[in-house]
Copies of this chain bind each other. A is one copy, B any other.
């Protein structure tokens, strides 16, 4: 579905590319240049934004909606790399990957997405050392997340992984009772956590049984965060308020 193109330029202002911490070292001239080539499009669920291995000319900013990043083998089995909500950038790191997208991207919830030329970004990091340094910290954090994901898959069981996922949805320093809303379909959460939907369903009820959390559809209520921390964080090498690991990028 080739959904309606509805704007160009100026979108950078609205977009929030400018609002991203990653780009805070950039001058207005950079944003203006970007804006000239920016293009915002609406996409509906199911649309493939690009495929792993495609030649890349753009990176993207998600204004609205949800994007699933994944990789696929020849025989058709897929691995979900990440699921990005509005406010995230994607395909940035393509500039370090010979201009080939390192994963495929699929719209999983009607979205509005702005594209920007990678070439401009490349030019900018050549000269803007602070941007390069910001990208380094950002990528380092992202890499740490990946490492933690490997660890989790190795030592946490399915209910613990779900508990850990829920904990990351809670704003920092929250005390007492909390209400959590799953940010997307259970099937997607399952994919994100590397398990089957059936396993997710069973694991969630086990989590409920073991920790006493309350579940109503996509809404989950905790009397106290401790409930979950005790259950999930036991099988993890980081201790609880997993500092800023909810941020993603690249």
Q: Which residues of A contact B (CB under 8 A)?
A: 52, 71-75, 77, 79, 81, 93, 96-97, 102-103, 125-127, 129, 132-133, 135-137, 139-144, 146-147, 149-151, 153-155, 194, 234-237, 250
Knowing A140-B96, A142-B143, the reply to whether A154 touches B73 (Cβ < 8 A) is: no
If over half of A's interface residues share one DSSP class (helix, strand or loop), that class is named, otherwise mixed; here it is helix
Query: Given the complex, which residues of B lie within 8 Å of A153, measured CB to CB?
Result: 150, 153-154
Other than A73-B237, A132-B132, give 19 A-B pairs with Cβ distance below 8 A. A73-B155, A73-B234, A73-B235, A73-B236, A75-B235, A79-B150, A79-B155, A96-B137, A96-B140, A102-B147, A125-B133, A127-B129, A132-B133, A136-B136, A136-B139, A139-B140, A146-B146, A146-B150, A153-B154
Docked Cα-Cα span, A193 to B99, in Å, equals: 30
Docked Cα-Cα span, A96 to B133, in Å, equals: 9
Docked Cα-Cα span, A204 to B135, in Å, equals: 41
Query: Given the complex, which residues of B lie within 8 Å of A126, measured CB to CB?
Result: 129, 133
